[in-house]
Structure 1
Amino acid sequence: MTRRPTPKDYINAELQVLGAFSLRYPQVETIMSLPINIPQREIGKTGVKTSVVGLGCMNLAPGVYGKVDDAESIQLLNTALEIGCNFWDTADIYGADGYSERLISKVIKDRRAEVFLATKFAFDVSSGKINGSPEYIAKACAGSLERLGTDYIDLYYMHRMDPSTPIEESVSAMAKLVEEGKVKYLGLSECSAETLRRAHKVHPITAVQIEYSPWTLDIEKNEVLKTCRELGISIVAYSPLGRGFLTGNYRSIDDLEEKDWRRSNPRFKGENFAKNLKLADSIKEVAEKKGVSAAQVTLAWLLAQGDDIFVIPGTRREKYLVDNAASGSLQLSKEDLNQIRTLSEAFQPSGDRYDQYGMDMLNR
């Protein structure tokens, strides 16, 4: 019987093809020959450290970015742990019936202590609305625990804010989960600065998950970043690569799979795609001068914005997982940082982050 390749086999093969000959496993090297040594930072004021480069797991569910292969996804997750990428992020809405959570359960059943696991609630499928009621929160948490096959969640986020339920009521219900030992730390996603302050008065908020990248600098302008720093709350940047756009790997909408949801995203549609390529190409030029990937430069730039920043890029491919992970050890010069800052601030994204339905749920 043919032996199934291990993560070490995969990485060795990548290195041989690209001419990187030194390998000290598990301190592996990436496709761009950078060593992997992912730093760990304290998240919030918890005293707990986790990898600054995490893994977004929405990609592991079918119907989001196209087809998935569960066997490859499981291998991806195991590889993540082998290289020290142990901050995993999922949600009960990622795939039908919590598909992403169920997949993760297959890996963490024997490795739970190795993972700092975050998941999210609020999208009530039964009503089609955002639900932050105490009753729903208790039910949602129980469902996630069952699907994940664990008795605790490290970081539990409210995915979007419920305009019909005061945030104080929602956070009080979340705090009860902490008291019961079902959840360790609390977070909010895409909240306003005012909502964050109100929530933090009820129970300490450990992290805010929010979109942050060179083409989405909103949190620097709407008081969210400032408020997080005032209160000692970490920023967990989702879509840190602009939903893959800033990798430079996509040149037209046709490069996306037929069922990839990004085909309907405003920044990928019509003339917006070509206009937004200008930023991706500019970042790629910086990366090429340094002999690294555009993804690595982008992630390293984000991490350099403060020691309270974490990034959770998603991928279905091991080579990109390994490539992203190496950004944690990439040190950009002051000149590099300033150049990307200048490019980002001068760039005006073409198209909104989401369609109108999605935009209406932000900054509540």
Structure 2
Amino acid sequence: MQLEILGNPIGPVGFGLMGFTWRPTLTPDDQAFATMKRAIEHGATFFNGGEFYGMPVPTLNLDLINRFFTKYPEYADKVVLSIKGGVDLKIFAPNGSPEFVRESVENIIKHLGTAKKLDLFECARVDRNVPIETTVAALGELVKEGLIGGISLSEVKPETIRRAAAVHKISAVEIEYSLWSTEARDLGVLSTSAELGIPVIAYSPLGRGFLTGQIRSRKDFNEDDYRLHFERYSEENFAVNLQLVDEITKLAQKKGIKPSQLAISWIKKHEDVIPGLHIIPIPGNLALVEPLTDDEFAEIGAILDKIEIKGGRYFKHHENLLWVECSYARLTFA
């Protein structure tokens, strides 16, 4: 059965828009638009962007989306658009207060214009100072008002998912998930989402390019590449983590596919392993799924058991924003 979100059919793989605008050199519209069209035409109809995915102007990602759907209005109803927001850029920290999330949603809609509706809104991280019940209740009011189509969560623990779902229907849970980022499985996020019937959106499914096999040293990055500041790309961790890429590349070659295809297919195979799970990888380029056998999945599992990934996913300040458990609503203690 094909997955639907907000009543719209979703292909097995979605599409991440961050890379077009959240980098020192922006992607020209003609190149970005051609890629976006190709993604839609190949069934990647879940698009993911961000209110703050822009350099040096945070809203460049939203403006790009506006220009695309203005030029190609025939695609607007074919795509489910999810946008991350709810981040106070003055301190680059999440703000889940009702006032701030409304302000964030209104700003996103302002930049999208009339070209594309805001299907899903998600706070990019959890505000540890605001109960998730409070944030979700406020977003539920925005759903009633027709400002957003539904609510998504990001980087949340199972208990937070349950608390949120008790307040309002949750249409998606977005987490980082890949061959070198399996915390969501270990924490129970995948199984909890499957139990509650919530699709999982897997961002950075290719390890920010690392799992493609095209990055062999730190010299392969431009000097201003933000990835150089992440712990997993440090001098002491790079060579160790490259062992995983080498093992995955060997297996991909044996199967006759690219390492990137193997990485995406491994994620999709979880749907066979975890009952009820729907998981949608959102790479920043078109990725085709090549079904894996149970033996191949087990072989990859053995590789992951053997090789320990070194270093955090981000730099240390950002790591503090991952898997945050927010405060409880007052009524919990009544």
Name the aligned partner's letter for residue 89 of structure 1: N
Q: Structure 1 regions of 5+ residues with no counterpart? A: 1-38, 316-320
Matching of residue 52 in structure 1 with residue 17 in structure 2? no
Report what 1:180 is aligned to. 145
Name the aligned partner's letter for residue 106 of structure 1: R
What pairs with 1:190-229 in structure 2 (closer than 5 Å)?
190-229=155-194
- Normalising by structure 1, what TM-score? 0.82
Report what 2:78 is aligned to. 114
Name the aligned partner's letter for residue 195 of structure 1: T
How far off its partner does 1:215 sit? 1.1
What pairs with 1:1-364 in structure 2 (closer than 5 Å)?
40-43=2-5, 46-63=6-23, 66-95=25-54, 96-109=57-70, 110=73, 111-150=75-114, 152-306=117-271, 307-315=277-285, 321=286, 324=287, 326-327=288-289, 330-364=290-324
Partner SS state of residue 262, structure 2 = helix
Q: More displaced, 341-350 or 134-143?
A: 341-350
CA contact (8 A) 2:8 2:78 kept: no
User: Would the alpha carbon gap of residues 195 and 272 (structure 1) be closer, same or farther in structure 2, given more than 3 Å must change?
Assistant: same
How far off its partner does 1:128 sit? 3.5
Name the aligned partner's letter for residue 231 of structure 1: L
CA contact (8 A) 2:206 2:264 kept: yes
User: Would the alpha carbon gap of residues 72 and 175 (structure 1) be closer, same or farther in structure 2, given more than 3 Å must change?
Assistant: same
Name the aligned partner's letter for residue 358 of structure 1: H
CA contact (8 A) 2:10 2:43 kept: no
CA contact (8 A) 1:122 1:131 kept: yes
Superimposed CA distance per residue, residues 110-129 of structure 1 (whole angstroms, 9 cap, x where no aligned partner):
12112111101121114433
Partner SS state of residue 335, structure 1 = helix
CA contact (8 A) 2:177 2:184 kept: yes
CA contact (8 A) 1:208 1:235 kept: yes
Report what 1:24 is aligned to. none
CA distance in 1, matches of 2:122, 2:301: 29
How far off its partner does 1:70 sit? 2.9
What percentage of aligned pairs have identical amino acids? 36
How far off its partner does 1:351 sit? 0.6
- Normalising by structure 2, what TM-score? 0.89
CA distance in 1, matches of 2:231, 2:267: 23
CA contact (8 A) 1:152 1:181 kept: no
CA distance in 2, matches of 1:291, 1:266: 32
Superimposed CA distance per residue, residues 183-212 of structure 1 (whole angstroms, 9 cap, x where no aligned partner):
112111001212111111110112110011
User: Would the alpha carbon gap of residues 273 and 203 (structure 1) be closer, same or farther in structure 2, given more than 3 Å must change?
Assistant: same
User: Would the alpha carbon gap of residues 230 and 62 (structure 1) be closer, same or farther in structure 2, given more than 3 Å must change?
Assistant: closer
CA distance in 1, matches of 2:230, 2:160: 27
Partner SS state of residue 305, structure 1 = helix
Pairs aligned (count):
313
Q: Structure 2 regions of 5+ residues with no counterpart? A: 272-276, 325-334
